[in-house]
Amino acid sequence: MSFKACSLQDLTPGEGLRIDSVSPPIAIFLTEEGTVHAIDDTCTHQDASLAAGWVEDCRVECPLHESTFSLRTGAVDQPPAKKGVRVHTVELDGDDVLVELSQDAPNLPPGVKI
pLDDT, averaged across the chain: 96
In a domain, 113, yes or no: no
In a domain, 112, yes or no: no
Q: What is the CATH number of the domain that holds 29?
A: 2.102.10.10
In a domain, 58, yes or no: yes
Which residues fall within 8 angstroms of residue 52, CB to CB, at 6 or more apart?
16, 18, 63
Residue 105: how many other CB atoms lie within 10 Å: 8
Q: Do residues 66 and 81 touch, judged by C-beta distance below 8 A? A: no
Domain total of the chain: 1
In a domain, 30, yes or no: yes
Q: What's the confidence (pLDDT) of residue 1? A: 86
Q: Is the pTM of this model over 0.85?
A: yes
Residue 82 — very low, low, confident or very high, per pLDDT cuts 50/70/90?
very high
In a domain, 35, yes or no: yes
Q: Which domain holds residue 38?
A: 2-100
In a domain, 6, yes or no: yes
